Amino acid sequence: MINYRHLYYFWVVGKEGGFSRAADRLGVAVQTVSAQVRALEESLGCQLLKPAGRGVALTDAGNAAFARAEEIFQLGQRLPQEVLQAASRPVVRLAVGLSDGISKLAAHALLKPVLATPHLHLVCHEGEFDPLLAELTLHHIDLVLAGQAAPVNPNLRVTSEPLVSSPVDWFGPSAWVNKKHVLAFPACLATIPVLLPTGHSELRASLDRWFADIRVQPNVVGEFEDSALMAVFAAQGLGVFPVSRFGALHTGLLKGLRRLGGDDRVREEVFAIKNRRGEQHPLVARILAHAT
């Protein structure tokens, strides 16, 4: 590692053109400056300065070292101001846990009211339900959005609040959404390609019960953990897919897709789970206010 004190003394000598003037600027003895520069030359293995009249000049190696030193110390001069600005900036941090079974389109719609907050630092954690609750109880995150309420457990010290109960609609590209299929919905789901959320999702359980009730065996060609990714594959022609009406109203991912149909008996539920700190967080309060 380069000793930056040695480099700094060399840089000042290069700027001043001599050891005496550098010593005056630094407020130290000439011998101290000379020793620092000599130590730098020894560490680099080459001569950086050469005599020139009453002062010194840079060698070729010295010119290369001086150019880099110039960059380094100009950056160093800006450092205090930049650090002060960063320390005084009113950053608003919001940490949200997204249960891996929740529709990401719905999650984005719920968070949208706070996304324009000045100096927002949004941190989203996606994971399984129980680990997210543990993070919430430890105050590592401020809010969890999930497809289910938190279990009744006084040790958790969290509260649950229903945010969304939205009917689910089906969308797809024009290749699969036409007049014939719209009229035949939902029976057409047995013949046209269908994309579904994976089994860990609460919505998938509701859809499976619905399929059983209407006695339709869906033609499943793909399963996705992420609803936004499912929308992307649908837009590329892979099939039709379900999405909560709430999420569909707040996303541009459905551009170019058509509505096939829907059944209000299938709904996506989203719960807000918060701890005491989350209850005091102004952005959490805004999210809850806009959702109700």
CATH of residue 14's domain is 1.10.10.10
Cα 28 off chain centre by: 50
Is residue 221 over pLDDT 60? yes
Structure tokens at 169: 């609609």
Instruction: Kindly state whether residues 41 and 159 are assigned to the same domain.
Output: no
Instruction: Kindly state whether residues 121 and 133 are assigned to the same domain.
Output: yes
| pLDDT tier at 253, thresholds 50, 70, 90 | low
Instruction: Kindly state whether residues 278 and 157 are assigned to the same domain.
Output: yes
Place of tokens 């497809």: 147
Cα 110 off chain centre by: 16
Of 15-24, 201-210, 226-235, give the lowest mean pLDDT range.
Answer: 226-235
Instruction: Kindly state whether residues 253 and 195 are assigned to the same domain.
Output: yes
Instruction: Give the burial class of 11: count Cβ atoms within 10 A of its Cβ; 0-12 exposed, 13-18 middle, 19 or more buried.
Output: buried
Instruction: Kindly state whether residues 148 and 287 are assigned to the same domain.
Output: yes
Instruction: Kindly state whether residues 21 and 110 are assigned to the same domain.
Output: no
Question: For the chain, how many structural domains are there in total?
Answer: 3
Instruction: Give the burial class of 151: count Cβ atoms within 10 A of its Cβ; 0-12 exposed, 13-18 middle, 19 or more buried.
Output: exposed
Instruction: Kindly state whether residues 133 and 276 are assigned to the same domain.
Output: yes
Q: What DSSP character marks residue 240?
A: B
Higher pLDDT, 9 or 128: 9
Instruction: Kindly state whether residues 101 and 159 are assigned to the same domain.
Output: yes
Q: Domain end: 68, 88, 108, which one?
A: 88
Instruction: Kindly state whether residues 30 and 83 are assigned to the same domain.
Output: yes
| pLDDT tier at 252, thresholds 50, 70, 90 | low
Q: What DSSP character marks residue 242?
A: E
Q: Domain end: 36, 56, 88, which one?
A: 88
- CA dihedral (222, 197, 99, 131) positive or negative: negative
Instruction: Kindly state whether residues 108 and 159 are assigned to the same domain.
Output: yes
Q: Find the mean pLDDT for residues 174-195.
A: 95
> H/E element holding 109?
helix 104-111
Structure tokens at 249: 């109203």
Contact between 111 and 248 under an 8 Å Cβ cutoff? The reply is no
Q: Domain end: 88, 120, 142, which one?
A: 88
Is residue 277 over pLDDT 80? no
pTM of this prediction exceeds 0.75: no
CATH of residue 98's domain is 3.40.190.10
Give Cβ neighbours of residue 86 (< 8 Å, ≥ 6 apart).
Answer: none
Domain of residue 34 covers 4-88
Instruction: Kindly state whether residues 247 and 171 are assigned to the same domain.
Output: yes
* DSSP states of 128-155: -HHHHHHHHHTTS-SEEEESSPPP--TT
d(CA 148, CA 138): 20
Instruction: Kindly state whether residues 175 and 152 are assigned to the same domain.
Output: no
